[in-house]
Amino acid sequence: MKFNREQIPAFIKVVKKMCEDGNEGAKELLSFIENSTLDEVGDFLDTLDLSGICGRVSATRKADIEAEERHRMRVRRTLREQQPEEEKPTRPPSKKSGDLKRR
Give tens-digit pLDDT for 48-98.
666 556 566 667 777 777 888 888 888 888 888 887 766 666 666 666 655
Provide, rounded to the nearest whole percent, the portion of the chain with pLDDT above 70: 66
19 or 94: whose pLDDT is higher? 19
Q: What is the pLDDT of residue 63?
A: 76
Helices within 1-103 (DSSP H only): 8-20, 24-34, 38-47, 54-82
Q: What is the pTM of this model?
A: 0.44
> Which pLDDT band holds residue 42 (cuts at 50, 70, 90)?
confident
Output the CA–CA distances (angstroms, integers) from residue 45 to 9, 13, 36, in the order listed.
12, 14, 12
Cβ(66)–Cβ(10) below 8 Å? no
Task: Please classify residue 77 by burial: count the beta carbons closer than 10 Å to its beta carbon, then call 0-12 exposed, 13-18 middle and 19+ buried.
Answer: exposed
CA dist 68 and 74 (Å) reads 10
- Which range has highest mean pLDDT (12-16, 53-57, 98-102)? 12-16
